[in-house]
Chains A and B, each alone.
Chain A
Amino acid sequence: MDSFDGNPSRRQILKTAVAIGGASALSACLNNGGSEPIPSGDPAAKPPRQHAWREYIRHDKYDNSQLPKHQILLYVNFDEEGRPSPETRSTLEESLTVLDRGYEWSNEGLLHTIAYSASYFERFDQSLPEQVTLPQPRALSPFESPTFDTQDAVLHLASDRADVVLEAEQALRGERDTANGESVEAQLTDVATIDSRRTGFVGAGLPAERQDAEGIPDSNPVPEDSPLFMGFEAGFKGNQATEDYVTIEEGPFSGGTTMALSNLRQRLDDWYEEQSFDERVMEMFSPGHAENDLVEGIGSNLEDNSGIDEFVDNIEADAETHGRVGHAQKAARANRDAEGNVKLLRRHFESTDDIGSDQSVASLHFPSLQRRVSDFEEVRRAMNGTDLTQVTPAIRQRVNNGILEYIFVRRRGYFLIPPRRHRSVPMPQPESSS
Chain B
Amino acid sequence: MDRRRFLQTASAFTVSAAVAGCLGSAGSDDEPSNSQTQSSGVPSIVENRPDGIYIPSHIEGMKMSGTAEQGDYAFGLMYSYAHRFWNVNGDSTTLTEIEDDDAIHLMANVWDPETGTVLPDTGLSVEIYQDDSLVSQETIYPMLSQPMGFHYGANFGLSGDGAYTVRLNVGAMTTRRTGSFQDRFSEPTTADIPFEYSEQERNEISFERFDTEAGTNGAVDPREMEMMPDSRAPSESTLPGRVIGTGMSNDAQFVVTVIESPPAGIDGDGQYIAVSSRTRYNQMVIPAMGIEGTLLRGDETVYDGEFTRTLDPELNYHYGAVVDSVESGDELTLQVTTQPQTARHEGYETAFGGLMGGMNDVTLAVE
A interface with B by C-beta (< 8 Å)? 139, 141-145, 214-215, 265, 267, 269-270, 274, 322-324, 354, 356-357, 359, 361, 386, 389-390, 392-394, 396-400, 404-406, 408
Neighbouring B residues of A356 by C-beta, 8 Å: 132
Query: Could you say which of A142, A361, A405 contacts B188, with CB atoms under 8 Å apart?
Result: A142
Contact in complex: A394, B89 (CB < 8 Å): yes
17 chain-A/chain-B pairs, Cβ below 8 angstroms: A143-B123, A143-B188, A145-B189, A214-B134, A267-B139, A274-B87, A324-B89, A354-B134, A357-B132, A389-B174, A393-B287, A393-B340, A398-B123, A398-B125, A399-B141, A400-B89, A408-B137
* Contact A142 to B174, CB < 8 A, known contacts A324-B90, A393-B288, A393-B290: yes
Instruction: Tell me the bound Cα distance from A143 to B188 in angstroms.
Output: 5
Assess whether B188 is in contact with A359, with CB atoms less than 8 Å apart. no
Report which residue of B90, B133, B190 has the largest number of chain A beta carbons within 10 angstroms of its beta carbon: B90
Could you tell me if A143 and B171 are in contact, using CB atoms closer than 8 angstroms? Answer: yes
In the complex the two chains form, is B341's CB within 8 Å of A267's CB?
no
- Label chain B's interface by main secondary structure: strand
Per a CB cutoff under 8 Å, which of B169, B186, B340, B341 touches A145? Answer: B169
Task: Name the B residues within 8 Å of A398 (CB-CB).
Answer: 123, 125, 139, 171
- In the complex, which residues 95-129 of chain B have their Cβ closer than 8 Å to any Cβ of chain A? 96, 121-123, 125
Confirm or deny: B338 has a beta carbon within 8 angstroms of a beta carbon on chain A.
yes
Q: Are B169 and A143 in contact (CB under 8 A)?
A: yes
CA distance A386 to B172 in the complex (A): 11
| B122 with A397: CB separation less than 8 A | yes
- Taking each of B121, B139, B172, B186, which has the highest tally of chain A beta carbons within 10 Å of its own beta carbon? B139
Assess whether B223 is interfacial by the CB under 8 Å rule: no
Residues of chain A lying within 8 A (CB to CB) of residue B92: 323
Across the interface, do A323 and B90 meet the contact criterion of CB distance under 8 Å?
yes
Instruction: Return chain A residues, CB-CB under 8 Å to B186.
Output: 142
CB distance from A230 to the nearest CB of B (A): 15
CB distance from A405 to the nearest CB of B (A): 4
- Report B159 CB to chain A, min CB distance, Å: 11
Inter-chain CA distance A386–B186, complex, in Å, is 13
Q: CA A145 – CA B172 in complex, angstroms? A: 11
Contact of A393 with B138 at beta-carbon distance under 8 Å, contacts A142-B174, A143-B172 already known = no
User: Within residues 305 to 329 of chain B, which ones have a CB less than 8 A from any CB in chain A?
Assistant: 309
Smallest CB gap from A391: residue in B: B290
Instruction: Give the docked Cα–Cα distance between A324 and B289 (Å).
Output: 15
Please, how many angstroms separate the alpha-carbon atoms of A322 and B125 in the complex? 24
Contact of B174 (CB < 8 Å), options: A265, A269, A386: A386
* CB-based contact A408/B125 at 8 Å: yes
In the complex the two chains form, what is the Cα distance from A141 to B122 in whole Å? 13
Closest-CB distance, B290 to chain A (whole angstroms): 6
The interface residues of chain A lying within 8 Å CB-to-CB of B133 are: 357, 359
If A145-B190, A393-B309, A397-B122 touch, does A269 touch B171 (CB 8 Å cutoff)? no
User: Please, which residues of chain B bring their CB within 8 A of the CB of A145?
Assistant: 169, 188-190
**B-side contacts of A408, CB under 8 Å:** 125, 137
Is the C-beta of B236 less than 8 angstroms from some C-beta in chain A? no
In the complex, B330 has a CB within 8 A of chain A: no
Residues of B within 8 A of A400 (CB): 89-90
Would you call B91 an interface residue if the criterion is a C-beta within 8 Å of the partner chain's C-beta atoms? yes
Q: How far is the CB of B139 from chain A (nearest CB, A)?
A: 4
B188 and A390 within 8 A (CB): no
* CA distance in complex: A279, B290 (Å): 22
